Amino acid sequence: MRDLEGRDDVSALVEAFYHRAFLDPQIGPIFTDVAKMDLAHHLPIMCDFWETVLFRAGTYRRNALQVHLALNGRFPLTEQHFERWLALWVSAVDESFAGEKAELAKVQATRIAGSMHRRMKGGSASQFETIRNRGEFEAESATLGGSVAP
């Protein structure tokens, strides 16, 4: 298996993940029924996000946290939702990629899930706090608060 190498690989990963997530009985309805997400519109945005996170491409210039806070206002997102999202992401990565960038994709997803959950719950403790306690949340503000470009 090879590592993630650029936009085409990110696109393949993001597409595989979202197709899996949309069909998932636990989180799929959040995407399809609550957010009513248009996958064709959403995929390029998420490719921008992950390309920026993994390769510092600077193509994502939105605020991921705000989008999820608005969604949480309509449908409360629980720790179990974030855990399932993370499990599906890790599975999608491991199914097709291995290497430094693949590992970074999993580490960053763990950071993102933990940070979003913590911020939506006003800083409440969760399983993700152990990650934070190991000092792995140093980039959360840049990643979630807007542009993640260097």
List, for residues 56-114, the tens digit of each pLDDT value: 999 998 988 888 999 999 999 999 999 999 999 999 999 999 999 999 999 999 999 99
pLDDT value at residue 140: 39
Q: Domains in the chain, start-ordered, CATH in brackets?
A: 7-145 (1.10.490.10)
Distance CA 50, CA 55 (A): 8
- Average pLDDT of the chain, as a whole number: 84
According to the model, what pLDDT value does residue 130 have? 40
Task: Name the token pair of 108.
Answer: 């960053």
Measured CA to CA, the distance from residue 26 to residue 15 in angstroms comes to: 19
Question: Residue 135, class by beta-carbon neighbours within 10 Å (0-12 exposed, 13-18 middle, 19+ buried)?
Answer: exposed
Question: Using alpha carbons only, what angle is made at residue 60 by residues 56 and 9, rounded to the nearest 5 degrees?
Answer: 60
Residue 64 amino acid letter: A
pLDDT at 110: 97
First to last CA, the chain: 29
